[in-house]
Chains A and B, each alone.
Chain A
């Protein structure tokens, strides 16, 4: 009696699994674009659904960590189903390019709408949204007059007053990579050592955690991507909004090169089978509507100059952005990592 009662669910489960295996066999269809995305599902799916509704082109999506997806495309080689690779950092885009998994796209729409420094010089990848990594300070304990540049954060007067994420975080790596480009390795390493010496606590946590730490008084300054602050401002939690109230934003290096800017972006894979559909998706993502969505929903800055800016972003104010070609972020990534290792930035 017992074996029978357990056999039925087992069999149906096996059947269901088998159908999952068969169901996931690759399908090549004309009107579909296959996406490997390091942008989280929640931050890309709505746009994709709108794209499908507008164009009638379907999509299939896998999300994951950028490095894992990149490796997957690389190993899958010619057989890869991926048409398009989306990621949230210029360093990764550059890495994808040097891994040889992307192809050059001569698309007039993309080339005309996206500023030169926000896309690859060989047109292998394109920035789709901008995010700035800037200084946030405790309004009750820091006078913004004292703040000036990224470089000045290494100043002794900030001893024990700084919070930051670990060096494993790609945004920090890209920031340091840009500093290497501007200052050279030696001065950047000195700066990193000074920064580490100023830390109030060991590096760790996420960007939001750094903001909360500033609000709670564990430290006075931090370096955070702007949209995390935007999210606190718009949170439906009282506690988050209260924290945001205690924090001010400071745009560094406004008298010089401008604030460090990174992009989320995408490239079409070298072995893409649905290239036309993939290009159509990229074009869709730089339409003013999509760009506006980025700004509204995820508090990112558009890459298209004409795109409207959301209330939150308007509140953060105008700023001068570093126009360093983002290719360098990827090229200097390894040097940045090793430099942070040496400087003791864990």
Chain B
């Protein structure tokens, strides 16, 4: 009935209620075939529930879920999870302890002929470098290996859509980003459309073409990672993605603001009438260390991060900003340095008086 060609996944005005609470509130998003996406948000924000609704484990109280244009939830339909062709990787991996790696991976295709199963399982095991672990039991594998088994188990039946529920959360912080990148590569090779849920933005950046920030059941923005960082739709997204601080300013004209430290200029995310009291977002990479800079600041604290230091600086008007400084410029807390602002564009929101 819809004349517009459908997307691979369409979530249209979906709400989910659990025990009387609206956990997912009127969410819409769509994904193209072969895309990888992430839902990012603090814990308890409803992102896992949304994922479970897509998989069919929860039934939306409102709205529709469509996969390849076919309604799987909504308007009176509810397709059982096992008939949706949706694969899922769980936070606790949910490997079957009584089955070997081979049988775990082959679980979703066990109705096929034994040759076909063998071929597919080994193809996937080779893809993740576990072909020699086929006869082991899950408890005999390392955490990373278990992770990979859970992943290929979910994609073995060649699902239309793969859902991943914080599958890397059990891993070391440094490993997560790398794992996310590896998984994305595997999915790309297998041509799988996938949606990841996580609270770790680096993981999400590494994994996805498109990302959404979700909080209290509402999807704040569904966009590319770049846009999420540079053009956040609202204060929540701005604060949640990346580091940064807001400083107070007043609008002078279309591309200039007056702040306590002087005049800042750049392309503005939204235009406001002159004289509007606003907050402008300064990310650490907007603030440049510059011995010839016009703005002086006092180093409040410093964190050495190898290639650079991350300084927290106190400006003349008392506001604080963060700044990446190359590693060889070492300053002690309390020292005065000079900086300049280098904004390609300015993220500006009307003054939040409650803050």
In the complex, A touching B, CB below 8 Å? Answer: no
B residues with a Cβ closer than 8 A to A are: none
A residues whose Cβ falls under 8 Å from a Cβ of B: none
